[in-house]
Every structure is written in C-alpha cells, then in structure tokens.
Amino acid sequence: MTVNELKESCGFEIICMPDGEREVSGCYIGDLLSWVMGRAEEDNAWITIMSNINVAAVASLSDVACVILAEGVKLDDEVKNTAEQKGINVLCSQKPIYETALAISGMV
C-alpha cells in the first residue's frame, strides 16, 4: 500500500506529501523519540502526537514512509518546511492514536 492509498482509505488529511507513492509496510506507534529511532522500521507509518522539529529528524533517520499525527495535531510552518525538504510525508488524523491505529490495522 502506498502513502496515497493509506491516506485515501483512512481519510487522513495531508500536511505535506512529497512522495505519496512511497510504500508503507507496517506501523509503529510512539512518542518517545529515542524509542522510535531504535524501533521503527524502514517504510513504517509512524503514529504520534509529537509535532516539534525533532519529529522530522527522527522520521528521516528512521526512514519511515510517513508520519501520521493523531488527535488533530498540526505542524508549525518551520517543521512542515523541514519535513518537505527532507522528503517526509506527514498526514493528520482527527482520531485518537488507538483509533488511528485501528483504521490502518490490516492494511499495512
């Protein structure tokens, strides 16, 4: 499944999507950035509520397919621009983290 397909299937909003055709293979949920760096796998969809500049760095280092910000969390312009520059897909879900994970369960 691609990030575009995931977005369409789950009704997520696009915050930035420089590579919507990137394949998603799994999911990681976490807000402790050091844990995400050590445990998220390449091409995962990473669900979080964190929205600071470190999210872009961790997403890049972990090489996740996309970041999904749950609970309607948004990025400020600086973080959004950094994510775009680094080629990081960022989506937004209005649902809580658990419900966001349920929405993508079985898809990736």
- What per-residue confidence (pLDDT) applies to 23? 98
Residue 44 tokens, joined: 């995962």
Digit-coded pLDDT (tens) for 49-108: 999 999 999 999 999 999 999 999 999 999 999 999 999 999 999 999 999 999 999 888
* Interatomic CA distance for residues 66 and 20, integer angstroms: 9
- What per-residue confidence (pLDDT) applies to 106? 83
98 half-sphere exposure, CB direction, 13 A CA radius: 0
Pick from 70, 63, 21: which is nearest to 43 by CA? 63
Q: Give mean pLDDT, residues 13-21.
A: 98
